[in-house]
Amino acid sequence: MSGDGGRRIVRVETPPKPYPVLIGPGLLEELGPRLREEVRAPRTLVVTDANVGPLYGERALASLGAAGFDCSMVTLPAGDATKSLDSAARLYDALAEARIDRASPVVSLGGGVVGDLAGFVAATWLRGVPFVQCSTTVEADVDAAVGGKTAVNHASGKNMIGAFYQPRFVLIDTDTLSTLSARDYLAGLAESIKHAVIRDAAFFEWHEARIADLRARRLDCMPELIERNVRIKAEIVAMDERETTGLRALLNFGHTVGHAIESAMARGGDPWRHGEAVAAGMVAACEISVAAGRLSRVEAERIAALVEAAGLPVTAPLSHARSRILALMNADKKVAAGRLRFVLADRIGQATLCGEVRPEWIEAGLDRVLR
Ligand SMILES: NC(=O)c1ccc[n+]([C@@H]2O[C@H](COP(=O)([O-])OP(=O)(O)OC[C@H]3O[C@@H](n4cnc5c(N)ncnc54)[C@H](O)[C@@H]3O)[C@@H](O)[C@H]2O)c1
Ligand SMILES: [Zn+2]
């Protein structure tokens, strides 16, 4: 549903009550008044990182201040290492100092790292205070900011400690995407291609038709891109919020091999973005889907071609690390009762969670992407 002036609103129907995702240029100016409609509390805490804070912190604080909020802001180091229990402890200290009571909201301003961390802290401080997410990366706009998964990492793995916790609203000011690094921008497109492959053939074609504009970061494409992604994710999480029926698991398409590639690449001097690893992971998942007799070769190549045209990797320089990749895949949370579960594509626009994946199919997938 489109709103006025290029603004779009998608409603996410999850308990305890539905919430809106607001999408469009210039929305950060509206943070204060929108939050004021939600809560009467006098105080709020904004959580951001060292890249986003200097760019957008002042604008967010000015809008909140004008709406009568007494605001504090905590700026944490940028990067996934910030998604830790140590950072959560630092935020609890800040919440205590700012006298954030049950009615006072926590606002995240940044990408998936800040959103996952601040959401987890909001879910656990006083057993839950109002939470609002202002998302500033493509990754968060099309994926992380919707669905209520909050988390911090643990030494044993990413996102091991967390909670399902829904925000009061998500605010996506598409103007913020202009300052994102080229790599972070493109990495987010991988999740958009993922949503299209698992759920929406027409959206896949939409990407194919606009790939040059998307790659060139034409910001006028962004509201529609984000809205369509949010709709797909919102529909899935509304039907399977807690990942119990297998539907939400479809969002892990490309992520079994992708996470293993992400971990393996994190060891070298050039760690990959999550979305870059998911891009190669999707190419592997397509190859496995072809080996399993589910996906046609023609469609697998169409998906790989779109990933490549988006400027994303279709192979990973990890031919030497094959056994480590397999071990990492087996350690993944998606291993249920000792068996790897894989999301396989049936065709563009439809995927299935598959419990019976033969080792030789996985080998075919790894042959394709580990170079
Ligand atoms: N909760 C979920 O369902 C879910 C889904 C997908 C990913 N995630 C999580 O999200 C995280 C990845 O998200 P991400 O890619 O947004 O990472 P991120 O938050 O680290 O942002 C990427 C980089 O861009 C910078 N940045 C953010 N916005 C900017 C802007 N507008 N201009 C300039 N720089 C900006 C950040 O400082 C950071 O350096 C991972 O921790 C992942 O686990 C969560
Ligand atoms: Zn992902």
Q: In this model, does residue 1 exceed pLDDT 90?
A: no
What percent of the chain is helix, strand and coil (3-state, nearest 5)?
A: 55, 20, 25
Q: In this model, does residue 160 exceed pLDDT 90?
A: yes
| pLDDT one-digit tens code per residue, 86-145 | 999 999 999 999 999 999 999 999 999 999 999 999 999 999 999 999 999 999 999 999
Could you give the residue range(s) of every CATH 1.20.1090.10 domain in the chain? 182-369
CATH code 3.40.1190.20 for 4-179: no
Please report which ligand is nearest the Cα atom of 167: 1
Q: For residue 148, which of 183, 122, 180, 172 has the smallest C-alpha distance?
A: 122
Could you give the residue range(s) of every CATH 3.40.50.1970 domain in the chain? 4-179
| Interatomic CA distance for residues 103 and 145, integer angstroms | 22
111 lines ligand 1 (CB under 6 A): yes
The pLDDT assigned to 188 comes to: 98
Give the ligand 1 atom nearest the CA of 177: 31
Task: Choose which residue among 87, 108, 116 to substitute to test ligand 1 binding: the one with the highest number of ligand atoms within 8 A of its C-beta.
Answer: 116
Q: Could you give the C-alpha distances from 185 to 47, 66, 145, 265, 310, in angstroms and in order?
A: 21, 31, 16, 19, 10
Please report which ligand is nearest the Cα atom of 187: 1
Angle at 326 between CA 300 and CA 366, to 5 degrees: 25
- Say how many CA atoms lie within 13 Å of 35 toward its Cβ: 37
Q: 103 alpha carbon to ligand 2 midpoint, in Å?
A: 32
Q: For residue 369, which of 329, 332, 334 has the smallest C-alpha distance?
A: 329
Tokens of 48: 């951001």
Q: 279, 312 in Cβ contact below 8 A?
A: yes
Catalytic residues: 127, 149, 191, 233, 243, 248, 252, 255, 259, 274
Q: In this model, does residue 333 exceed pLDDT 70?
A: no
Burial (CB count within 10 angstroms: exposed 0-12, middle 13-18, buried 19+), residue 358: exposed
Average pLDDT over residues 6-13: 94
Strand pairing class (157-164; 149-154) = antiparallel
Q: 289, 345 in Cβ contact below 8 A?
A: yes
The pLDDT assigned to 309 comes to: 98
| Interatomic CA distance for residues 361 and 368, integer angstroms | 11
Beta strand segments in 212-341, E: 335-336, 339-340
Cβ partners under 8 Å of residue 154, min gap 6: 85, 160, 161
Tokens of 165: 């916790």
- Which fold does the domain 182-369 belong to in CATH? Dehydroquinate synthase-like, alpha domain (1.20.1090)
**What confidence category does residue 161 fall into, taking pLDDT thresholds of 50, 70 and 90?**
very high
The pLDDT assigned to 156 comes to: 85
112 lines ligand 1 (CB under 6 A): yes
Q: 355 alpha carbon to ligand 1 midpoint, in Å?
A: 31
Please report which ligand is nearest the Cα atom of 193: 2
The pLDDT assigned to 5 comes to: 57
Task: Choose which residue among 184, 191, 248, 333 to substitute to test ligand 1 binding: the one with the highest number of ligand atoms within 8 A of its C-beta.
Answer: 184
For the chain, percent of residues with pLDDT exceeding 90: 92
**What confidence category does residue 267 fall into, taking pLDDT thresholds of 50, 70 and 90?**
confident
pTM reported for the whole predicted model? 0.96
83 lines ligand 1 (CB under 6 A): yes
Q: 113 alpha carbon to ligand 2 midpoint, in Å?
A: 12
28 lines ligand 1 (CB under 6 A): no
Average pLDDT over residues 17-39: 97
Q: 344, 285 in Cβ contact below 8 A?
A: yes
Q: 14 alpha carbon to ligand 1 midpoint, in Å?
A: 23
Task: Choose which residue among 21, 76, 137 to substitute to test ligand 1 binding: the one with the highest number of ligand atoms within 8 A of its C-beta.
Answer: 137
